[in-house]
């Protein structure tokens, strides 16, 4: 896990040299173990290394092949690199790292090398003979890759802040990105909050040669595995026992792949189903006791240590309970905000947990992130399934449906009423029409009223999630619950959960690995029929596939969860901070001041405490705009 940066630009070498160093300095937190640069008349490459596999200096980057034709910078891990290495008999290896295997695979197979990789990655290869750049991002978007193309120049980096630090990118707010953020507390790829900065989408690669940038898709979540996952070889889903065996085998493979490291490795253990499953499988294949880490609280309403302790004892792990107080999160807030490479309404939890885990001596941690998305763990899965069981409802005129929803929502809070109304007025129960309402912080109707200059007025709104799902035509061929899996992974998961995990863990140079996002596992599970996946109890398919690894006490317990007391903090400890940020945001004239003023009055008066999340996205945004120097 590292940080990468690059500039392709025919100009003064000294100018590129200074720019690439500013870029890697801006992401020094991602790689404290080594830094390296290569600069010539056409290209500059930079790297910050967090050493995980082959800790020797010979594996430092930028890394050259033996012919001195190709050079690579790489962020992430390719877990099956040892298997791939065996297929590359024509290449003479100098190291034991996965970086050299990626480079050798590209030399032998070109863009088709991506079909061989299992892992999380973003990398760039420069061909010095053909003056050609090749960049790629992993299938599920676990590792980020941002770029800017303008005036015959291409810049790329692991973080937006590196691009802005180059001095070559205009710090101008992207109005589409702003609208997207207020909708969903994030900006969805390929856009960002900065007008010139784009993201390479998950499952994409790009080539740059003779000044022409070409972007291609090599993998699609909804479009792969339809004729049988390559990991399973054309499976049948008629036999439930066979399905469970395949799920268990692929889960075990996903975990085992992620245990390769030459540094201390552990696992987050909350005591929930997902983290318990990961720890149980780690214990099954590990030669030594698993190192587990749990955040525990003195407050009984938050503390879940009885469940994490149960799993730790069952699998004889070296368990490390990390005692925290809610105020520890409050104290860490300034540093957590500073760590945000892109504004987010979430992420503080991940920042603090990553911090204490790194301080405990761990460099790599496995996480249960993704279990809910893959195995229908959220309540919205059953909500979506039920919406599709009443086709007659969608034949009622939309105006009548909306009016009925308004009457039914008389006693709901304003944010709940807006969501119910948006679902009821949807064109249909299709995934692109209904799903966006499940994930919105502010609805399109609300944003349509507040955007200035008529940019989103009169119903002419821009909905990034609707557009993303509408483009994925193959999703309609999947079972209903899998349609929601695809929707959640390709929107909320990739652009909130995975991005926040990356930026908050890498703020502490901690690598987090996510077995539930193993592409072989995902390809198989999204094909499984609803009759096997429907959660008659929490994540039924996962639990029964791994039986008896996850005890009933874990499966059927009442989930507590840890919710930070934002409602209290924003009214008390953070009140002055929030008021200052809202005032400064209003001065930017991006939205009518009456909107944030009304939200603040309704919240502080006690009229609606749930408005805190809407207020917080404005506070975080203003803090980010100010810190990054982005001008609206």
Q: What is the DSSP string of 244-272?
A: HHHHHHHHHHHHHHTT--SS-EEEE--SS
Q: Most confidently modeled of 197-201, 236-240, 444-448, 475-479?
A: 197-201
Query: Which pLDDT band holds residue 31 (cuts at 50, 70, 90)?
Result: very high
Question: Contact, 99 vs 49, CB < 8 A?
Answer: no
- What is the pLDDT, as a whole number, of residue 471? 79
- Residues near 307 by beta carbon (within 8 Å), at least 6 away in sequence: 270, 271, 272, 276, 553, 554, 557
Q: How do residues 232-248 score in pLDDT, each as one tens digit? A: 445 689 999 999 999 99
Is the pLDDT at 225 greater than 50? The verdict is: no
What is the average pLDDT across 436-464?
66
- Across the chain, what does the average pLDDT equal? 90
- What is the pLDDT, as a whole number, of residue 417? 64
Is the pLDDT at 586 greater than 90? The verdict is: yes
**Residues carrying CATH 3.60.20.10, the chain:** 2-217
CATH code for the part of the protein at 2-217? 3.60.20.10
Question: Contact, 264 vs 291, CB < 8 A?
Answer: yes
- Residues near 240 by beta carbon (within 8 Å), at least 6 away in sequence: 532
Q: How do residues 358-391 score in pLDDT, each as one tens digit? A: 999 999 999 999 999 999 999 999 999 998 998 8
Residue 513's SS3 state is strand
CATH class of 240-331+342-375+486-555: alpha beta
Question: Contact, 175 vs 193, CB < 8 A?
Answer: no
| Main-chain phi, psi angles of 542, to 5 degrees | -65, -45
Degrees, nearest 5: CA angle 402-403-406: 90
Question: Contact, 603 vs 612, CB < 8 A?
Answer: yes
Question: Contact, 533 vs 478, CB < 8 A?
Answer: no
Is the pLDDT at 453 greater than 90? The verdict is: no
Lowest-confidence region among 358-362, 502-506, 550-554 = 358-362
Question: Contact, 157 vs 146, CB < 8 A?
Answer: yes
- Distance CA(500)–CA(515), nearest Å, equals 17
pTM given for the model: 0.94
The answer for 228, left when phi > 0, alpha when psi is -120 to 50, beta otherwise, is left
What is the average pLDDT across 236-265?
95
- Distance CA(29)–CA(354), nearest Å, equals 13
Question: Contact, 289 vs 262, CB < 8 A?
Answer: no
Q: Which residues pair with 36 in a beta bridge?
A: 47
Is the pLDDT at 223 greater than 50? The verdict is: yes
- Distance CA(280)–CA(13), nearest Å, equals 53
- What is the pLDDT, as a whole number, of residue 428? 86
Neighbours of 612 (CB within 10 A): 20
What is the average pLDDT across 14-31?
96
Q: Which residues pair with 133 in a beta bridge?
A: 126, 208
What is the average pLDDT across 549-558?
93
Query: Which pLDDT band holds residue 458 (cuts at 50, 70, 90)?
Result: very low
> Could you tell me where the beta strands, DSSP code E, fall in 103-211?
119-127, 132-137, 146-150, 153-157, 198-199, 204-209
Residue 76's SS3 state is strand
Degrees, nearest 5: CA angle 247-251-257: 145
Q: How do residues 400-417 score in pLDDT, each as one tens digit? A: 777 766 655 544 455 566
- Distance CA(614)–CA(600), nearest Å, equals 9
Degrees, nearest 5: CA angle 283-550-479: 110
- Distance CA(41)–CA(153), nearest Å, equals 13
- What is the pLDDT, as a whole number, of residue 470? 80
- What is the pLDDT, as a whole number, of residue 94? 94
**Residues carrying CATH 3.40.50.620, the chain:** 240-331+342-375+486-555
Residue 97 tokens, joined: 């790292």
Helical (H) or strand (E) element with 600: helix 593-604
Query: Which pLDDT band holds residue 558 (cuts at 50, 70, 90)?
Result: confident
Residue 265 tokens, joined: 């490795």
What is the average pLDDT across 458-477?
74
**Long-range CB contacts (< 8 A, 24+ apart) of 216-219?**
216/111, 218/111, 218/114, 218/115, 218/136, 219/114, 219/139, 219/519
- What is the pLDDT, as a whole number, of residue 406? 60
**C-alpha of 429 from chain center:** 26
């Amino acid at each position: 896990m590292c940080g990468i940066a690059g500039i392709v630009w025919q100009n003064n070498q000294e100018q590129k040299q200074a720019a690439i160093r500013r870029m890697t300095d801006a992401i020094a937190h991602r790689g404290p173990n080594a830094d390296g640069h290569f600069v010539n008349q056409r290209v500059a490459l930079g790297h910050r290394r967090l050493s995980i596999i082959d800790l020797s200096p010979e594996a430092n980057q930028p890394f050259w092949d033996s012919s001195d034709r190709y050079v690579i910078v790489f962020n992430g891990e390719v877990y099956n690199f040892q298997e791939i290495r065996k297929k590359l008999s024509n290449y003479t290896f100098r190291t034991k790292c996965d970086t050299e295997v990626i480079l050798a695979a590209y030399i032998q197979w070109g863009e088709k090398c991506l079909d061989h990789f299992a892992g999380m990655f973003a990398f760039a290869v420069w061909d010095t003979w053909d003056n050609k750049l090749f960049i790629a991002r992993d299938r599920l978007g676990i590792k980020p890759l941002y770029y800017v193309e303008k005036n015959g120049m291409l810049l790329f980096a692991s973080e937006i802040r590196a691009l802005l630090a180059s001095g070559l990118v205009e710090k101008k707010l992207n109005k589409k990105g702003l609208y997207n953020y207020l909708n969903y507390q994030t900006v969805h790829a390929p856009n960002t909050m900065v007008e010139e900065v784009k993201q390479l989408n998950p499952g994409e690669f790009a080539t740059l040669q003779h000044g022409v940038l070409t972007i291609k898709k090599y993998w699609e979540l909804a479009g792969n595995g339809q004729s049988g996952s390559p990991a399973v070889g054309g499976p049948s889903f008629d036999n439930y026992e066979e399905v469970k065996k395949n799920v268990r085998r692929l889960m075990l493979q996903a975990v085992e792949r992620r245990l390769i490291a030459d540094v201390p490795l552990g696992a987050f253990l909350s005591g929930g189903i997902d983290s318990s499953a990961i720890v149980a499988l780690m214990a099954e294949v590990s030669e030594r006791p698993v190192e587990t880490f749990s955040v525990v609280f003195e407050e009984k309403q938050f503390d879940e240590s009885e469940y994490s302790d149960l799993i730790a004892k069952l699998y004889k792990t070296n368990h490390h309970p990390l005692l925290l107080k809610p105020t520890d999160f409050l104290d860490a807030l300034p540093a957590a905000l500073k760590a945000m490479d892109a504004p987010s309404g979430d992420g503080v939890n991940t920042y603090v947990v990553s911090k204490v885990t790194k301080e405990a001596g761990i460099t790599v941690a496995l996480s249960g992130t993704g279990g809910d998305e893959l195995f229908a763990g959220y309540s919205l899965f059953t909500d979506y399934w039920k919406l599709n069981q009443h086709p007659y409802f969608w034949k009622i005129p939309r105006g009548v449906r909306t009016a009925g929803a308004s009457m039914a929502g008389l006693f709901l809070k304003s944010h709940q009423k807006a969501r119910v109304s948006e679902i009821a007025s949807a064109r249909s129960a299709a995934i692109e029409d209904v799903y966006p309402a499940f994930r919105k912080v502010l609805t399109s109707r609300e944003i349509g009223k507040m955007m200035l200059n008529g940019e989103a007025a009169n119903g002419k709104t821009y909905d990034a999630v609707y557009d993303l799902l509408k483009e994925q035509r193959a999703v309609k061929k999947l079972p209903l619950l899998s349609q929601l899996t695809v929707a959640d992974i390709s929107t909320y998961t990739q652009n909130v959960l995975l991005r926040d995990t990356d930026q908050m863990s890498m703020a502490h140079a901690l690598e987090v690995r996510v077995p539930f996002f193993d592409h072989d596992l995902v390809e198989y599970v999204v094909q499984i029929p609803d009759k096997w996946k429907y959660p008659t109890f929490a994540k039924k398919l996962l639990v029964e596939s791994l039986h008896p690894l996850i005890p009933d006490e874990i499966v059927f317990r009442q989930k507590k969860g840890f919710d930070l007391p934002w409602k209290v903090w924003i009214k008390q400890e953070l009140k002055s901070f929030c008021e200052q940020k809202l005032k400064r945001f209003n001065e930017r004239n991006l939205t009518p001041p009456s909107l944030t003023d009304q939200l603040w009055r309704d919240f502080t008066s006690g009229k609606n405490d749930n408005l805190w999340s809407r207020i917080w996205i404005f506070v975080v945004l203003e803090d980010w705009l100010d810190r990054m120097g982005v001008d609206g």
